[in-house]
Structure 1
Protein backbone atom coordinates (compact mmCIF):
# COMPACT_ATOMS: atom_id res chain seq x y z
CA UNK A 1 0.00 0.00 0.00
CA UNK A 2 1.40 3.37 -1.00
CA UNK A 3 1.02 6.14 1.57
CA UNK A 4 -0.48 9.38 0.37
CA UNK A 5 1.35 12.35 1.82
CA UNK A 6 -0.39 15.62 2.61
CA UNK A 7 1.79 18.69 2.69
CA UNK A 8 1.31 21.96 4.49
CA UNK A 9 1.74 23.82 1.17
CA UNK A 10 2.82 23.30 -2.44
CA UNK A 11 6.16 24.95 -1.72
CA UNK A 12 6.85 22.60 1.19
CA UNK A 13 5.83 19.65 -1.00
CA UNK A 14 8.52 20.59 -3.54
CA UNK A 15 11.15 21.03 -0.85
CA UNK A 16 10.25 17.75 0.83
CA UNK A 17 10.28 15.78 -2.43
CA UNK A 18 13.75 17.18 -3.21
CA UNK A 19 14.97 16.19 0.24
CA UNK A 20 13.56 12.68 -0.22
CA UNK A 21 15.67 12.26 -3.36
CA UNK A 22 18.75 13.54 -1.53
CA UNK A 23 18.00 11.08 1.29
CA UNK A 24 17.69 8.19 -1.18
CA UNK A 25 21.15 8.90 -2.61
CA UNK A 26 22.66 9.31 0.86
CA UNK A 27 23.21 13.07 0.83
CA UNK A 28 20.75 13.63 3.70
CA UNK A 29 20.71 11.54 6.88
CA UNK A 30 17.68 9.96 8.54
CA UNK A 31 17.50 12.53 11.37
CA UNK A 32 17.44 15.45 8.90
CA UNK A 33 14.71 13.69 6.91
CA UNK A 34 12.63 13.28 10.08
CA UNK A 35 12.95 17.00 10.73
CA UNK A 36 11.78 17.76 7.19
CA UNK A 37 8.85 15.37 7.68
CA UNK A 38 7.77 17.31 10.76
CA UNK A 39 8.17 20.67 9.01
CA UNK A 40 6.60 19.84 5.66
CA UNK A 41 3.96 17.18 6.22
CA UNK A 42 0.52 18.05 7.50
CA UNK A 43 -0.28 16.56 10.91
CA UNK A 44 -2.15 13.27 10.89
CA UNK A 45 -5.70 13.41 12.15
CA UNK A 46 -6.07 11.09 15.14
CA UNK A 47 -9.38 9.27 15.15
CA UNK A 48 -10.94 7.01 17.73
CA UNK A 49 -12.10 3.53 16.69
CA UNK A 50 -15.69 4.77 16.88
CA UNK A 51 -14.94 7.70 14.56
CA UNK A 52 -13.28 5.35 12.08
CA UNK A 53 -16.27 3.00 12.15
CA UNK A 54 -18.67 5.95 11.63
CA UNK A 55 -16.58 7.16 8.69
CA UNK A 56 -16.54 3.70 7.10
CA UNK A 57 -20.28 3.30 7.56
CA UNK A 58 -21.01 6.78 6.19
CA UNK A 59 -18.88 6.06 3.12
CA UNK A 60 -20.19 2.47 2.80
CA UNK A 61 -16.71 0.92 3.06
CA UNK A 62 -15.83 -2.43 4.55
CA UNK A 63 -12.73 -2.74 6.74
CA UNK A 64 -10.62 -4.45 4.04
CA UNK A 65 -11.51 -1.78 1.48
CA UNK A 66 -10.93 1.05 3.97
CA UNK A 67 -7.33 0.05 4.78
CA UNK A 68 -6.20 -0.40 1.17
Structure 2
Protein backbone atom coordinates (compact mmCIF):
# COMPACT_ATOMS: atom_id res chain seq x y z
CA UNK A 1 0.00 0.00 0.00
CA UNK A 2 1.37 3.41 -1.02
CA UNK A 3 0.63 6.42 1.15
CA UNK A 4 1.01 9.89 -0.36
CA UNK A 5 2.25 12.63 1.98
CA UNK A 6 0.41 15.39 0.11
CA UNK A 7 -2.27 15.20 -2.54
CA UNK A 8 -1.13 15.98 -6.09
CA UNK A 9 -1.49 19.60 -7.17
CA UNK A 10 -2.41 20.92 -10.58
CA UNK A 11 0.27 23.62 -10.60
CA UNK A 12 0.73 27.37 -10.67
CA UNK A 13 -1.40 28.04 -13.75
CA UNK A 14 -4.40 26.20 -12.37
CA UNK A 15 -4.01 28.00 -9.02
CA UNK A 16 -4.07 31.37 -10.79
CA UNK A 17 -7.04 30.32 -12.89
CA UNK A 18 -8.93 29.28 -9.76
CA UNK A 19 -8.06 32.57 -8.04
CA UNK A 20 -9.38 34.45 -11.08
CA UNK A 21 -12.57 32.35 -11.12
CA UNK A 22 -13.09 33.04 -7.41
CA UNK A 23 -13.29 36.77 -8.19
CA UNK A 24 -16.55 36.19 -10.03
CA UNK A 25 -17.69 37.38 -13.42
CA UNK A 26 -15.79 40.25 -14.97
CA UNK A 27 -17.49 43.01 -16.94
CA UNK A 28 -17.75 42.40 -20.64
CA UNK A 29 -15.12 44.23 -22.69
CA UNK A 30 -17.82 46.22 -24.50
CA UNK A 31 -19.23 47.35 -21.13
CA UNK A 32 -15.76 48.44 -20.07
CA UNK A 33 -15.26 50.54 -23.20
CA UNK A 34 -18.71 52.06 -22.78
CA UNK A 35 -17.79 53.03 -19.21
CA UNK A 36 -14.51 54.60 -20.34
CA UNK A 37 -16.26 56.57 -23.09
CA UNK A 38 -18.75 57.85 -20.52
CA UNK A 39 -15.98 58.89 -18.12
CA UNK A 40 -14.07 60.67 -20.90
CA UNK A 41 -17.18 62.53 -22.03
CA UNK A 42 -17.94 63.52 -18.43
CA UNK A 43 -14.37 64.72 -17.92
CA UNK A 44 -14.45 66.72 -21.15
CA UNK A 45 -17.72 68.36 -20.14
CA UNK A 46 -16.32 69.27 -16.70
CA UNK A 47 -13.19 70.68 -18.34
CA UNK A 48 -15.29 72.82 -20.67
CA UNK A 49 -17.25 74.12 -17.67
CA UNK A 50 -13.95 75.05 -16.00
CA UNK A 51 -12.92 76.98 -19.12
CA UNK A 52 -10.40 74.48 -20.45
CA UNK A 53 -10.29 73.70 -24.14
CA UNK A 54 -7.95 70.73 -23.95
CA UNK A 55 -7.26 67.90 -21.56
CA UNK A 56 -4.71 68.56 -18.85
CA UNK A 57 -1.13 67.60 -19.55
CA UNK A 58 1.18 65.77 -17.17
CA UNK A 59 3.17 68.99 -16.71
CA UNK A 60 0.01 70.85 -15.61
CA UNK A 61 -0.58 68.14 -13.01
CA UNK A 62 2.95 68.52 -11.64
CA UNK A 63 4.29 65.25 -12.99
CA UNK A 64 7.93 65.25 -14.06
CA UNK A 65 9.64 62.49 -15.96
* Bin of the TM-score, shorter chain as denominator length: 0.3 to 0.5
Structure number with higher relative contact order (C-alpha < 8 Å, ≥ 6 residues apart)? 1
Of Structure 1 and Structure 2, which has the larger fraction of its residues in helix?
1
Please give the TM-score of this superposition, normalised by the length of structure 2.
0.32
Please give the TM-score of this superposition, normalised by the length of structure 1.
0.31
